[in-house]
Amino acid sequence: MRVVAQKPWAWTFFQDDAGTYVLSSLVGTVAQYRLEISLSAGEVRNYERFGLEAIDTLAQDVAANPATYKLRTMDGFLSQAAARDAIDRWRTNSKQVR
Give me the pLDDT at residue 95, please.
67
Phi/psi of residue 5, nearest 5 degrees = -165, 165
Q: Which structural domain range is residue 62 located in?
A: 2-97
Q: pTM of the full predicted structure?
A: 0.89
**pLDDT, tens digit (0-9, with 9 covering 90-100), for 45-70:** 999 999 999 999 999 999 999 999 99
The total of structural domains in the chain comes to 1
